[in-house]
Each structure stands twice: as structure tokens, then as C-alpha cells.
């Protein structure tokens, strides 16, 4: 959520910059400013009346003490009037506030000046490409075939027990998952992150805080009976730790890492996109989250991007980094780098990580603040990134490393798997 003060002071700039996200704010911004004007005016009127009521209440107390009952009762006539007025002003004020809120919630975050123009994924800018694209023989198999051949992932069993998109990992496949999770977490700890194990269900406030609600309602699994949401990413519980918190300046940056299962309904997905591990309802991910001083958040974004890149390098996967164009940038992000690994058997790039700076868009909604060295209280910047999401990494590793006797495990992973080859 953008800050109302910023919109007030930079009205034209806000409208202009949102065009990069293909968002026409020319109607809503003036409406926001008008609503805020009404809000402030109502607040002032209400405060004045409350001030009078407070003053009179004190007078009445005094009059009673002095035994001047009649005079006290006379004053009460006015306080009764004031009570009605303040009550209705209070209701009005609440109305304006929630009206303003529901307008502000519709405004996306401003894109960073570096964000490339463009309206779709085709126009994302490749900022780095690294590693040799493997050339596999004609008989190379996609990962779902490999998974079946070596009996390491069972999609049919998942369908039977839960439904499509809920695979079973089995034997070396299961251990491979654990190895990757451990590898990712250990690398993050090495880089100075604190490990968390978060709850997998969150309440409404938390889902609202990170912006899943209200806009992505329906993409999350909802446990009706207790009104809890299954997390679509560990970002939700990990960032919400700091909701309504004022940090000390020397507590920044906050660097947290969490492994969690992630749950997504993926309503509307279909076809080859959902084949095998490409898109699941439940998957595993290691997420890194940072809270940082506004002056340093873009350096941090670079560091987080470098961290994700180092993981892919160690896994010996060819990858590329894309700077998302305005049209592909998420609602909440100011600048996002997507990581894609090349799947040789499917002959396509698979998104495995997304690293973003949200600047103060999330923290304004969640009121994540810090006390700066000069004593002033400011919103932090929030950043997060996958480091990394498992399923497509697994898909690419299986496909790219297949050979006649099975699938070889990247050497960086062997100390976590305890085996060097799948299939023998």
C-alpha cells in the first residue's frame, strides 16, 4: 500500500510511474486525494467537538464536588448534544477511512525506474545468462518419465490419495528432496540468515498483511472451521512476524530463512504447464526474507540475487536472470528478478526463483517500522526471494543429469544425499 502522504506530494509522478505497470491511475488518484481531504476535515471537526466534551466533563465533575447539582445538570444538556454529534462524526470518519483504505489497496506499488517497459513476459529483460545448455540425446526423457522409471516420484499415488498436484516422493526421490532443502538452508545460514520454522497456517490478519488478501482470495486454501489460511509461501508467516513492530536501527538488516511446504490452489491452470512437477498444489520451498533500511535495500536486492545465483551455480544448472518488465511485475513489487533454469528434455526455461524488493509497500500495510539513528520512525523496506523452490529444480536436475545408468547427483549435493546416482 502506498503512503497517502507520498501520493499527496507526488500526485503526478505516481500516475506517471504506474503507467509502466500498465495501470491507469488518473481517476483513482484524484479520488483518493478527495477522500483523504474529507477524512482530514471530519477528523478536525470531530476532534474539536471531543475537546469541548472533555472540557465540559471536567467542569461537571467539579460542579458535583461543589454541590452545584443544578448547574451541573444544565451543562449536561450540552454534553448530551455533543455525544450525538461526535457519535455521528465518528461513524462518518470510520466510513471515510475505510473508503480511503479500499481505494489505496487498489493501487499497485510503483515500479523502480530500472523496470523495463513492456506488457507481457516476452518483454522481460535478460540481465544474465550462465552455463552451457546441455545437449541430450533423442531418447532423453522428461522428468515425469524418469520419475516413473526410477520409481522416485509417484504422481498417480498422489492423485489417488489427495488429487492432482500432490505427488508422493519415494525412496531416493524423497531423500533427494530432503537433501535439497538442507543444502539450501545451510547455504543461507552460511550467508548470515537465521533459520525459522514457521506455522503453515496463518490467520486473516497475516494473509492481509503480506497482500494475499483481499486480492488473491481463492488462490489460498482456506480452513473454514477455524478461519485459517494455508500459506502459499513462507514469506507470509516470516514477514508477518514484524507486523506492527518498531525495530531498532541496529537490528537491520533482518535476515531470515525458512523452509516450508507451500500450498496453492492454482485455480485456472491447465495443460502442459501443470505436467509433472511444473505446477503443484503442494510444494517445498526455501525462502529468504530481509528487512532493510530504505537507503540500502537495493544493495540487498543485489546480494539476494547473487545468493540465488550461487545456488544454481553449485547445482551446475544453466540459468538466466530476467528483470521483469512493468506488465509482468507483481502488484506489490518495485523490482523483481526472476530466475529460470533450462530444462533440456522439455526444451524450455522453468522459473525457479523470484527475488523482489517491495520497498515500503508491504511494510506500510503491515506497519513494519524502525527507529532511525536520528530518532525518527520510518518504514522498513522488505525483500524476499526463493532460494530456492524445489520442484522445478528437481525437474531440471533429473532431466539434465540423466544418462544411461540413471541420474547423477551434482557433487555439491552428495554430502546431503549420501548417494551419487539415482537408478543404481
Partner RNA sequence: GGAGAAAUGGCAGAGUGGUCGAAUGCGGCGGUCUUGAAAACCGUUGACCGUUUACGCGGUCCGGGGGUUCGAAUCCCUCUUUCUCCGCCA
Site for RNA in 18-57 (CB under 7 A): 40, 43-44, 46-48, 50-51, 53-57
Q: Is 58 in the site for RNA (CB under 7 A)?
A: yes
* Residue 207 beta carbon to RNA: minimum distance, rounded to whole angstroms: 16
* Residue 307 beta carbon to RNA: minimum distance, rounded to whole angstroms: 32
- Number of residues lying near RNA (CB under 7 A): 26
Site for RNA in 236-295 (CB under 7 A): 246
Q: Is 85 in the site for RNA (CB under 7 A)?
A: no
CB 384 within 8 A of CB 373: no
Binding flags for RNA, 351-390, as an x/- string (CB under 7 A): ------------------x-x-----x-------------
Strands 245-248 and 368-371: parallel
* Residue 57 beta carbon to RNA: minimum distance, rounded to whole angstroms: 4
- CB nearer RNA, residue 149 or residue 243: 243
- CB nearer RNA, residue 24 or residue 48: 48
- CB nearer RNA, residue 324 or residue 368: 368
* Residue 80 beta carbon to RNA: minimum distance, rounded to whole angstroms: 6
* Residue 79 beta carbon to RNA: minimum distance, rounded to whole angstroms: 4
The radius of gyration of the chain's CA atoms, rounded to the nearest angstrom, is 27
* Residue 101 beta carbon to RNA: minimum distance, rounded to whole angstroms: 12
24, 64, 156, 418: residue in contact with RNA (rule CB under 7 A): 64
- CB nearer RNA, residue 24 or residue 47: 47
Q: What is the DSSP letter of 295?
A: G
* CA nearest neighbour of 335 among 94, 114, 129, 123: 114
End-to-end Cα, the chain, rounded Å: 53
Q: DSSP states of 311-358 as a string?
A: HHHHTT--EEEEEPPTTTS-TT-SEEEEEEEEETTTTEEEEEEEEEE-
- CB nearer RNA, residue 85 or residue 136: 85
* Residue 92 beta carbon to RNA: minimum distance, rounded to whole angstroms: 13
Stretch that binds RNA, among 76-84, 144-152, 194-202, 356-364 (CB under 7 A): 76-84
Three-state secondary structure string covering 95-134: HHHHHHHHHHCCCCCCCCCCCCCCCCHHHCEEEEEECCCC
Cell of 283: 510444494
- CB nearer RNA, residue 47 or residue 151: 47
Q: What is the C-alpha separation between 264 and 221, in angstroms, rounded?
A: 7
- CB nearer RNA, residue 4 or residue 352: 4
Q: What is the C-alpha separation between 375 and 371, in angstroms, rounded?
A: 6
- CB nearer RNA, residue 60 or residue 234: 60
Q: How many CB atoms lie within 10 A of CB 163?
A: 10
Q: Is 201 in the site for RNA (CB under 7 A)?
A: no
DSSP helix/strand/coil, 222: strand
Q: What is the C-alpha separation between 329 and 100, in angstroms, rounded?
A: 25
69, 80, 128, 174: residue in contact with RNA (rule CB under 7 A): 80
Q: Which residues of 94-132 are buried (b: 16+ CB within 10 A; e: fewer)?
A: eebeebbeebbbebbbbbbeebbebeeeeebeeeeeebe
Q: How far is CA 334 from CA 123, 164, 355, 381, 422, in A?
A: 17, 34, 11, 11, 41
Which residues contribute to the site for RNA (CB under 7 A)?
4, 40, 43-44, 46-48, 50-51, 53-58, 60-61, 64, 76, 79-80, 83, 246, 369, 371, 377
Amino acid at each position: 500500500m502506498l503512503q497517502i502522504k507520498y501520493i499527496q506530494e507526488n500526485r503526478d509522478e505516481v500516475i506517471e510511474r504506474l503507467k509502466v505497470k500498465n495501470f491507469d491511475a488518473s481517476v483513482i488518484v484524484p479520488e483518493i486525494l478527495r477522500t483523504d481531504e474529507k477524512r482530514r476535515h471530519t477528523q478536525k471537526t470531530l476532534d474539536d467537538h471531543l475537546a469541548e466534551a472533555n472540557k465540559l466533563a471536567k467542569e461537571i465533575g467539579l460542579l458535583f464536588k461543589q454541590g452545584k447539582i443544578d448547574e451541573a445538570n444544565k451543562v449536561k444538556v450540552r454534553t448530551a448534544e455533543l455525544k450525538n454529534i461526535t457519535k455521528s462524526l465518528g461513524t462518518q470518519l470510520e466510513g471515510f477511512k475505510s473508503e480511503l483504505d479500499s481505494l489505496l489497496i487498489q493501487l499497485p506499488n510503483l515500479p523502480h525506474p530500472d523496470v523495463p517497459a513492456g506488457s507481457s513476459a516476452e518483454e522481460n529483460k535478460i540481465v544474465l545468462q550462465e552455463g552451457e545448455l546441455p545437449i541430450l540425446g533423442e531418447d532423453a526423457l522428461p522428468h515425469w518419465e524418469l520419475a516413473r522409471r526410477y520409481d522416485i516420484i509417484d504422481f498417480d499415488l498422489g492423485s489417488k490419495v489427495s488429487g492432482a498436484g500432490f505427488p508422493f516422493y519415494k525412496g531416493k526421490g524423497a531423500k533427494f528432496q530432503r537433501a535439497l532443502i538442507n543444502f539450501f538452508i545451510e547455504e543461507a545460514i552460511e550467508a548470515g540468515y537465521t533459520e525459522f520454522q514457521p506455522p503453515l497456517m496463518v490467520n486473516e490478519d497475516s494473509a492481509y498483511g503480506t497482500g494475499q488478501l483481499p486480492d488473491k482470495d481463492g488462490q489460498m486454501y482456506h480452513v473454514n472451521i477455524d478461519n485459517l489460511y494455508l500459506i502459499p509461501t513462507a514469506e507470509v508467516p516470516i514477514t508477518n512476524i514484524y507486523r506492527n513492530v518498531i525495530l531498532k536501527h541496529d537490528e537491520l538488516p533482518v535476515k531470515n530463512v525458512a523452509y516450508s511446504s507451500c500450498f496453492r490452489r492454482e485455480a485456472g491452470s491447465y495443460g502442459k504447464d501443470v505436467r509433472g512437477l511444473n505446477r503443484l498444489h503442494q510444494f517445498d520451498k526455501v525462502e529468504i526474507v530481509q528487512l532493510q533500511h530504505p537507503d540500502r535495500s537495493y544493495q540487498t536486492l543485489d546480494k539476494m540475487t547473487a545468493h540465488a545465483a550461487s545456488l544454481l551455480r553449485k547445482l551446475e544448472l544453466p540459468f538466466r536472470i530476467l528483470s521483469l518488465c512493468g506488465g509482468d511485475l507483481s502488484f506489490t513489487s518495485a523490482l523483481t528478478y526472476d530466475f529460470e533454469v533450462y530444462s533440456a528434455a522439455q526444451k524450455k526455461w522453468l522459473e525457479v526463483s523470484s527475488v523482489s524488493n517491495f520497498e515500503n509497500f508491504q511494510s506500510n500495510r503491515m506497519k513494519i517500522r524502525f527507529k532511525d539513528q536520528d530518532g525518527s520512525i520510518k518504514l522498513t523496506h522488505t525483500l524476499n526471494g526463493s532460494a530456492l523452490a524445489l520442484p522445478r529444480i528437481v525437474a531440471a536436475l533429473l532431466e539434465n543429469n540423466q544418462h544411461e545408468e540413471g541420474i547423477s547427483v551434482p557433487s555439491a549435493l552428495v554430502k546431503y544425499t549420501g548417494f551419487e546416482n539415482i537408478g543404481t
